[in-house]
Amino acid sequence: MKIVVLDGYTENPGDLSWSALEALGDVTVYDRTSYVDAPIIAERIGDAEVVITNKTPITKETIDKCPNMKLIAFLATGYNVADYNYAKEKGVLVCNVPTYGTACVGQYAIALLLEVCHHIGHHAQTVKEGKWANHIDWCYWDYPLIELDGKTAGVIGFGRIGQTTGRIAKAMGMKVLAYDLYPNDSGKAIAEYVDLDTLLAQSDVVFLHCNLTADNEKMINKANIAKMKDGAILINNSRGQLIDEQDVTDALKSGKLAAAGLDVVYTEPIKADNPLLTAPNCIITPHMSWGAKEARQRIMDITVDNVKAYLDGSPINVVNK
């Protein structure tokens, strides 16, 4: 059986092994495949039965050109870059990795917040550049320092990752509010569930941990920012499309938002004309929350399990049943 990995580098830049996958068939791994060149994508898939991808799209055109394809396995939770409905029509299964980064993504959300509060990277660099050695005072800080104890964290989307962030915030002395369409008992042990407007109005820090849907695209927009506290902090390492980037930029420039910590943007890689690049007090990192080695190993392990289950005739984690 032929297996093709279209864009394996971000999953495995060299610190993991493909050996468990290679035990299942004839594996070809491409580090990168064009996201826009459909003929190249189809050419690389060829007559492979199993296609493994992360962000390389699998379109209707590609599915039609690769009739031997029977399984599309995502090295990720998100699978929207595949035409999964058409794949179903053609008898092609699509599966994903439903959970792998709960701990590291929640941890990273807090890391973004702590960087906003202390700008540790900036200050460490100024020390290396000699500013402390040559300073008139025995200490200094270039940004206001923020203490989180006693402040309120509002988490929009209170599933596994949201609850992880909530637990860490609570451990730091923060009151935690949560907004979720499906409240559950485990969440109630961490946070108080409230409606969205209440969360926006009462939170000093707003975390986004929700899935992207047609209903919540650009939910952090001018109207909802107006409902937030003056000087609130926004943290988003969920989906870039959840915020209106121009409205957030405007709010940062006006001071309505004190700061933002973002690991995702609307279009990735980020475009040079993204307004957030000119926004003050805006930390942007390159969609790396998920990338801890431990999390990537879980992706690898679950992907191998997905392929094994398909070969055994009992597929798991199928998203287009």
Which of 89, 129, 268, 294 is the catalytic position? 268
Whole-angstrom Cα distance, residue 188 to residue 320?
32
Catalytic residue selected from 44, 119, 209, 287: 287
4-to-29, 41, 43, 54, 100 alpha-carbon distances in Å: 6, 11, 11, 12, 22
Instruction: Write down the residue that tokens 């988490």 correspond to.
Output: 155
Residue in 119, 239, 296, 298 annotated catalytic: 239
Contact 209, 158 (CB under 8 A): yes
89 is catalytic: no
160 is known as an active-site residue: no
HSE, CB side, 13 Å, CA atoms: give it for residue 102. Answer: 13
3-state helix vs strand vs coil in the chain, percent to 5 = 35, 15, 50
DSSP three-state, residue 87: helix
| Residues found in the chain | 321
Neighbours of 268 (CB within 10 A): 11
* Structure tokens that stand for 137 in this block: 């005072």
The verdict on whether 49 is a catalytic residue reads no
- The DSSP 8-state label assigned to residue 270 in this structure reads P
Instruction: Tell me which residues are annotated as active site.
Output: 239, 268, 287
